Amino acid sequence: MKALVTGGAGFIGSHLTDMLIQSGAVVHVIDNLSTGSKNHVNPAAILHVEDINSDACSKIIEHVRPDVVFHLAAQVDVQRSIADPAFDSTVNIVGTIRLLKACEQAKVSKIIFSSTSAAYGDSNNERHEEEAVPAPISYYGLSKQASESYIRLFHRMYGINYTILRYSNVYGPRQSSAGEGGVVAIFLNKLNKGLPVHVHGSGDQTRDFIYVQDVVKANLAAIHQGEQETINISTGLRTSINNLIHMMKMIHGQDAQITYGTERPGDIMDSCLDNSKAERVLGWRPMSSLFEGLTQSYQQYR
């Protein structure tokens, strides 16, 4: 199998590239390295340093003619999307459209799209099912929802096969603590440096944290299953930010100073996804507990 991973030098994409190569696939990676790192790219992969909005990216796809494209390249910073919605839409919406057009030209068999729980908005203390009406409260969530709609319409017009995977809050090794980053990466980085951990809001807000290796396995399961489906990839379990910090301090073995500030616009109060469809359609279920995953992540920041 020949696979192409956009954003393959990034957090999730690099882990996915590793596992694809382990499975025997020939893997091409497209990444502009704005947030990804060459050091994360498996040496057996073929790296193309290009932006998904470039003509060169389209030509690479048309030349490589991959069997499957995993589209992970994106602008994922909620606060940046609010500060600069035009940039967010250019990367996430226009970039996806250009990718879809290139895939249509190259006769790609399937696109597996990495979407987000941010498309749902606040969960009102319930687990979101895929049939829930999207109600994003950030431009990032809106741009990912719009990208999903373009994928569905491209399938209707050109027959391009797809699976859309909506991730809950992914964490694990290689996750960046720069900028907004991931909350787990940011907190672990602060703990290891002996710095105060700052929480936006009360800390009572909840998230559905899922380990990166479980997300990668869901992508692999979607290669041959889940045609024209939108599927939540999550644990289905809620964890408050305060409980998350408590677990991290246990793993760290030392106390830490916790500070609290105001909530930020676009931040969701509660987010949890129902994952029963993933088990039913993909035969997938998460295998890593939060404590196990945090322990693995902690080793990186040591």
Q: Which CATH class is domain 2-170+210-234+274-287?
A: alpha beta
According to the model, what pLDDT value does residue 72 have? Answer: 98
Residue 179's pLDDT is what? 59
How far, rounded to the nearest angstrom, does the alpha carbon of residue 157 sit from its chain's CA centroid? Answer: 27
CATH 3.90.25.10 domain locations along the chain: 183-206+238-270+292-301
What 3-state class would DSSP assign to 73? coil
Distance CA 299, CA 275 (A): 28
Q: Which two tokens stand for residue 231?
A: 């599927």
Instruction: Tell me the catalytic residues.
Output: 140
3-state class of 177 per DSSP?
coil
| All CATH 3.40.50.720 domain ranges in the chain, comma separated | 2-170+210-234+274-287
Beta-carbon contacts of 256 under 8 Å, excluding residues fewer than 6 positions away, are 190, 191, 194, 196, 197, 245, 249
| Residue 91 · residue 49 · CB < 8 Å | no
Q: What is the pTM of this model?
A: 0.95
Task: Provide the CATH topology of domain 183-206+238-270+292-301.
Answer: UDP-galactose 4-epimerase; domain 1 (3.90.25)
Distance CA 113, CA 226 (A): 12
Per-residue pLDDT in tens (0 to 9) along the chain, 302 residues: 999 999 999 999 999 999 999 999 999 999 999 999 999 999 999 999 999 999 999 999 999 999 999 999 999 999 999 999 999 999 999 999 999 999 999 999 999 999 999 999 986 658 999 999 999 999 999 999 999 999 999 999 999 999 999 999 999 999 988 755 689 999 998 998 999 999 999 999 999 999 999 999 999 999 999 999 999 999 999 999 999 999 999 999 988 899 999 998 888 899 999 999 999 999 999 999 999 999 999 987 77
